[in-house]
A and B are shown apart, each in its own frame.
Chain A
Amino acid sequence: MIDVRDLRKHYRVHRRAPGLWPAIRSVFSRTYETVPAVDGITFEIAEGERVGFLGPNGAGKTTTLKVLSGLLHPTSGDVRVHGHVPKDRDDAFLREIMLVTGQKQQLLWDLPPADTFDLNRAIYDVPRAEFRKTVDELVDLLDLGSLIDKPTRQLSLGERMKCELAAALVHRPRVLFLDEPTIGLDVNMQTVVRSFIRTYNERHRATLVLTSHYMEDVAALCPRVIVIDKGVLAYDGSLEQLSRRVRPEKHVVLRFSREVDAADLEGLGNVVTREPASVVLAVAPADVTAVVSRALARLPVEDLTVQNPPLEEVMSELFTRSRVEREAAS
């Protein structure tokens, strides 16, 4: 269980204008500013849950993950992960967690991933038999094959990320913090990584906290999302509810067998996008059945789907609203 109460993390940042004179002046006198990266957030995550941390750049997602994994000392607030205080970084805590970031790696650059696996076996004191079983399972799930015997520096980004995940799981952590685990990966590799993460969670009942800018990651993995904006909690609940709350309308996507005029679409709903032989309509949920019936009756419909608005749009709308509310309050 992860329990966070009124967490704050403020950074002291040095500010100076560009140019030579400000640079010289900064040698003698500096201006500092306190930036609240996380500003009083509270939430709980149950054991085995998969939670997505969402927010625009600089929202405080990664800072929160770093506090939860013990890398950063919070400015104030109470944080517990499986009963441990992360900033103490005691051995028992470090054995239960792992933070995987898409931008930093633990793999030894000049050596094959197998050496990093073995290093982690020794560091985490994993019995050899259990280690072999775990590595075999990871090699199988991630299709690592002979990759683990090639020097890390000779692996592609996707191959490295798969090996990175495997290295992180050698000691079977009960809590996994994933910060942009699919960043820079191609679509196929993203799917592999997502599927693996989900399998690991289901097989070992590990708690999973994920940040990602790829909404597909969040949609595929996280039934629950926590949205942070400017260090403040903007939403905590299911993705479905979030969509319903922020963008309640449905998108009716129609593809036609021939070109259709704009006039033919009148009365069907708001046109989101239109091309000669296709259209996306925004329709209130209660009107979907009627709109679909009317469209089928009067238009040459070849294909029809009803979807929620894209998550990117939902998030963008949420951030805009939350900013407006904040500005109004201040």
Chain B
Amino acid sequence: MALMTVALAKGRTSNSSIKLLQSAGFHFDDIEDNTRKLVFYDKERKVKLISVKAVDVPTYVEKGAADIGIVGKDNILEAQSDLYELLDLNFGQCKFVVAGLNSSLQQRSRLTVASKYPVVAQNHFQRKGIPIETIKLNGSVELAPLIGMADVIVDIVETGRTLRENGLTVLEELDHISTRLIVNKASFATKTDTIEDFVTKLKKALEG
């Protein structure tokens, strides 16, 4: 069977992903928390695992550099890539929210929204018919409303602790997020059996 490349998001969900792969029967040599290696092979050398930044996973998969990706729905929504999304892996649960100071959404003709997810933010407010200006930030998004750079933020929250400790409240809840399995369309077309086999194994591991 052909070698398959899987792009795995680093960070928040990588441990759960590796655990799932293991229970599905894919064991990778020297894959541990503190390794700096970026490429791993499973023992039967059927799967090549590449460890990439979460936001880049959809790009790797859409370009066909990886056949399969394991990444959060937040990054999939932001990338707007043309991909198959075959499984909901159910871990890494969180949700998109609009958050700000209490008065943030009141009577404004134009909102300034800070976010790591400008596309998601834009789409949400466009649906509601509210014109916005987006500011793309790469971290500590909660700061933006506090110092007056933005009216609200669009971000993912798990427990809401960071928001609370910075005096922000959730103004609106948007999409529910979890980790998904995405597949390149050309890979699916040309390696259908290999990919379906992989998906089935993961599905069984999820249920078991």
A binds B: no
List A residues at the B interface (Cβ < 8 Å): none
Residues of B bordering A, CB below 8 Å: none
